[in-house]
Structure 1
Amino acid sequence: MNEDQKKRIRQQYVYLVNNLTDPRSTGLAAHLYQDGVIELRDRQIVEKKKATEDAIKHLLDAVMNSSHQGAFDCFLKLLEEYRQDYLANVLRQSDSSDGTEEYGQDYLDNVLGQSTSFDGTEDNKSPATSVCLDCYQDVCSLCAGCHRRTNVSKKHRLRELTAAASDKCQVHPSIYPNSYCPQCDVLVCERCMVDTHKGHADAWKDVITGAEDLKCKLNGIISEIKDITLNKPSIQKEEQKRLADLDDQRLLAKEAIETREDELYKLVKAGAEKAKEDVDRAYLDIKLQLQITNKIESLEKQLKAYENMVNDASVSSVVKNHAEWEASLKEMLETLSPTSPVPVLRFQTITWAETAIQQAMGAVVIGEITPTLITQHHLQYSKDPKEWPIAVDSMPGGDVVVGTGCKADKTKRRIIICSSTGDIKKEIKVTGLGGLTILRDGTIAVTVWDSSTQEVRIYTKDGGMMSSFKCSTPGRITVNHDGHLVVMDARTATCGNVMVYHTDGTQLRVFTDISVKPVQYVLKCITTTPSGDAIVSDPNDCCIRVYTPEGQLRYAYGGEGVMKSSYGVCVDEDGTIFISDLHADNIHQVSPAGQFIRYVLTAKDGLWAPRAVCINQEGHLVVAQQDGWINTYKYK
């Protein structure tokens, strides 16, 4: 700052002190520091001053003593941005030294007059080719050279307009954005970076880098779709196989209808014909879903248009539209993917309403898909003494938690925390472990029953015990929709208690579950529904019993002839129940009302001795087999 400029500030010193808005609350000190006008030490002193007047005085002194050659101009521009134009005008009116001496006012007027703004207007002037991020002005190539040679502005940052964002900042319209905030998905200027986006510093990217990253992401999806179009022959081959399978399913469904028709004689003839029509209609609907090669041909032009649009798009256009483009491209990818789940067509009879002809005839079931194996990993269990999974659950972040049992040595029981791909992250030894469940905060609630201890414990995922409380004969455990712990007792009797606790150990209620047969060495499992009902899985009676939250029996499903052994049980967000039948090597899918839907997995799918099941955070079915395999399936 030259002496004339310092003199102007000194002359208006008292006026500025009395009228300048508090620089601590407006962020003026922070912006002056950001622009290099004042030092960090001065900014800290200003922000620590108790009195506003003292803060303003120190700020003015720091500005006057600044070594920044454009300090005075920068100070005036900030005053205007903070809507104190009258203060800037007071200082400008008597300012005679504006940095033009080096070239002469006539020369600068002649040169600077040749620039035109970026709005495309022309009046025999050169077009703007750069933007000064310190002066917030568009300049032509001649002015840019002058800008770099002038002492006042040679340290300013010039950015070519072809490489910068063409739209100005929406919050600060006088400034061009020079960064991209991925956290907010917007372009931001330097003012935004120290204001509304101050806490996002770790995520900032250069505007060009941000746009290129978004383009790469979109082009990645385009490449995946291209791979599908290039693999059209193999897709056609797979399509023919699936269509053949669909034909077989249609024949099997019609055979089931005819068998049912014979059983119900002439009374259900009309219903049978209608059911056949429904099968054909469903067949055509699914056939259309499977025939994707024609879609590929019709979508190739659309894909090319997307590819050109993405690669030719401006920075601002990419930032504004990438979310919409990405959603559309992902929808195309999902539609064309040959690995998409395939709906299954079959005929399902309804056995519980034989008196009604239409209900007894059954219904065509569509919408179910063949479960897809997503991940599979093997946990090494001890064979001597024998070890097996007794419970499985999923962490909020996707990690799988398995509890192991060992009848011969209770000290060998443990909790294993592993990633979805099987990498073991933590093992927690828990003598007498009876069951486990994951709470909403990611902690692990377990039941313990050994020779000296009967209690419920809560562990952190790092293995530290947070709390515990006494609980009589605890067996399996789950958590309900209220966040309360529900414990099934482990007594070998026909009557067993279902105990509901607050996590601090306060018992809320108890009700009794009654078995037909005395409980043998296999413990009952327990889970809850989204509505709060409790479901007890009884391996000895080969069934599940569903109770209201108050303990009233709603219904039972299963029994001998329906299941060989009812072990693990879980419920998805829709209330659909999944029951693992250990000795039949299958998993029953049952409606919330207790009606059989299908065997969601069987031995034909590679399932063997499923002991424990759960639904993970992504809505997929996780199955723990007796041999140590942990499989995750997409079933809908």
Structure 2
Amino acid sequence: MATAKKLTDNHLTCVICTEVFTDPATLECNHTFCKSCLLKYTNTQPDAIQTKCIPCPSCRQLTKVTNPDSPVEEWVGQLKPSHVIQGLIDDFGPRAEAADVNICSVCKQQGKTTPALSWCSVCDDVFCDGCLKMHNMMPMLRDHEIVNASDATKRKSKHRFMCKTHKDKQIELFCKDCRMAICYTCCSIKHRKCDDVDTLDSMTPIVREHLSNQNQELKIKMKTSENKIIFKKSQIKEINSNAQNIKDDIRKSRQAVVDMILRKEKQLLDKVDRSSDEQLHAIQAEIKSQEIELQMYQQQYEFTANAVTSNCERDMYAVYESVCEAYTDIRDTDNRPAPGRVVFTHDMDKLSKAVDELQLGEVAVVSGVSDRQSTPVLHHTIDCEADRDEEDPFLSVVTALTVDGINVTVVADHNNKSLKTYYTSKPNPHVNQLLLSNRPWRIAKLSESQVAVSVPRSNEIVTVNVTPEPVLLSTIKTSKRYYALAYLSPSQLVAGTYRQSHSVDILDMTGKILKSINTGVIENPDYIYVDSNNNLIVSEALVSSLVSVTSEGEAVFTYTPTGDRALTGPRGITTTSTGDILLVDTYSHKVIQLTESGQFVRDILTQQDGLKYPRGICLDGGGFLYVTCDQYVKVFTFVKSVHNQIT
């Protein structure tokens, strides 16, 4: 039976479904698979289907088919069956083994097929009644435990644990060093140098407890996986619902535009009706006037005609005297211009351009913090203490770079007068620092591999190359002590100092002041951020406001909330991909989200998220949010918030 099991496990099992072959077929490379498995695999390989061949799942060799024009199902069906494999399955497969299990082991050796009724737990053989009597007559065998051959449960529990190497030896030991169950012979030959070998009886409760604990963990993982599946399905439902809502909104926008066009159409049609009616009324009045004149002329004509045909000269002269002078100069006196014609003029090119430029709205996929319904999750925390530090680190600013595919976190350590970079390159994290002439204050990101750092007490702005180790590039000497610093363009920086009369300076890369920008209520800028519209967003810890101005100094907005939302220490600033502003409020231990125009959206991070006196903030390209808290950088990710989420 052991031989049959080994043959089945190693040679009669399909590597695709890991079951004993069903309808086996052998390819040209001599690898054998179930036909149904080959069909499923071939259907997943478009290149093979295009070349009209069956690919081998093991070695990738292609097998040509006899009728390439037929469907893929027929390709596999036309493969020749493996009669040798099928014969081995018939003789040694599960069915054959199941049949042999109930045949007396002794009788089988004699070519007989006597049904077995008993099983010996020591010999691991089945016997008929006659052979069992012979077995029990032998002194060395009579004490063996015998059970009913049909009682599979009892047979399994009484089955002896035999060594695979020394097949006649029972396993009674367990090597803890090798984590293997072994027999005494294995112990004396292969495990002599092992330090911890115990008996199987002693280890069984421990192994059982370990497996029970593992089972509990698996149950938890199963439950977690089920919850994740439920959660993902709820996400699918929400995505479909959200898509339908957006489609409805788009249709409403389209209908609003159509209604507007229909209103304009009605206005034009009404104007055509009014203009035409006015013309028609004028012409109708003229016709009425002409009809009255015609009637008068007809009456005069008849009166004159009667006088002419009359034989009475007195009547004729009387008529002549009354009308002759009045009509001696009868002529057409209607000199009014012909009525105008209603026309419709339009510029199709202009109309087409207007339609092309018409925007019903924008559809975008937002994720992370840009999604206002998202929820923050602490991803990891960076401890910025280094071996050469003389004091506890104090981080007022952070920025994130991607250097040659490596994510690098850059911080200015105020207390230790250094710029530090942190990155992970398997298997260990790396920390590097660049000592500066004095305490660094702010960092301006120039590119993915370069930053500028303000060093106010030295009247310097230094540029640093991140490789990802920090390397000093240049030192810019300035006429003022600049604290706040931001990148405006490849040739310009924005810098702020104290006691500067509510303004910040635009500098070139040599430190020359190009112009000054008014910052409204902000007198001593602590932080400056330049958004995607090149507007400057400025904060000051001692002023309960956030100010946004254009690069020309025109006010965009001033955010000054009151009551419970009043700012208590506005500092670090960044923006999301959708333009929302993220503002650190130090003494309320919050990060606040505002719209691009300075309207409150929500508190996205609070003290409950682990914030304690936050200061610096930045977002990286992967949607991770970095916030400095004393000597730590807390890194958050944002997940979609789903109502009634299962945890």
Instruction: Give the TM-score normalised by structure 2.
Output: 0.41
Report which of the two structures shows the higher radius of gyration computed on alpha carbons.
2
TM-score by length of 1: 0.42
